[in-house]
Amino acid sequence: MVEALNIKGFRLFPGYLDRAAQERIVGDLRRVLEDAPLFQPVTPRGKPMSVRMSAAGRFGWVTDRRGYRYEPQHPNGTDWPVIPESIARIWSDLADCPKSPECCLINWYGEGARMGLHQDKDEADFTYPVLSISLGDEGQFRMGNVERGGKTASHWLQSGDVVVMGGEARLAHHGVDRIRFGSSTLLKAGGRINLTLRVVT
């Protein structure tokens, strides 16, 4: 584990998952997505996001014309699948949190996809961390400040890297500027999967 980006509470575990562990998680995710297919969310202003999304757990995070929020069901009306043990175990090992994750958000980045700077603030208690898992193509992760503006720092996350954001980093603005499409052979069609585990209630 290393402290990265000089932001207190941002912990990076580079290469935490070896190739075999990554492949197991991808296999588990394929089964999740059979019941909760990826969908393209839109912002409250009606703009389609460039990532495709799904989730597992008690809740999934969604966005549409009604706003940003957590919902207990997929937009198709079915309950979200259970978070696979291969993923939940990482939270148990690294999050240093007394509660289990209630949401595993699944973001898939295809070629050209990105995520603008934002805060994770739709949860009830910000003392619980957010844990992020990178799979597939490398992504340029950018970290900013709790308040908008000011200097930012970036770091290329590789497949198998895990990040935990707690403390001051928990409400810091962050995003993904771009991916190096085709930089990994983990996903047959290319792209990057980012899993974020969080406590919702």
Q: What is the mean pLDDT of residues 195-200?
A: 98
Residue ranges of domains in the chain, CATH in brackets: 2-198 (2.60.120.590)
Q: Higher model confidence: residue 151 or residue 19?
A: 19
pTM of the model: 0.92
Residues in the chain, overall count: 201
* DSSP code at position 100: P
Determine the pLDDT at residue 64. Answer: 87
8 Cβ contact partners less than 8 Å away, ≥ 6 residues apart: 167, 168, 169
The per-residue pLDDT for range 172-190, each reduced to its tens digit, is 999 999 999 999 999 998 9
Give the angle 75-63-30 at the CA atoms, nearest 5°. 50
Is 110 exposed, middle or buried (CB count within 10 Å of its CB: 0-12, 13-18, 19+)? middle
Of the candidates 28, 27, 138, which has an alpha carbon nearest to the alpha carbon of residue 81? Answer: 28
Determine the pLDDT at residue 2. Answer: 43
Q: What is the mean pLDDT of residues 78-88?
A: 98
Q: Which one-letter amino acid corresponds to residue 2?
A: V
- Based on its alpha-carbon atoms, the radius of gyration of the chain, rounded to whole angstroms, reads 16
Helix-strand-coil split of the chain, %, nearest 5: 15, 35, 45
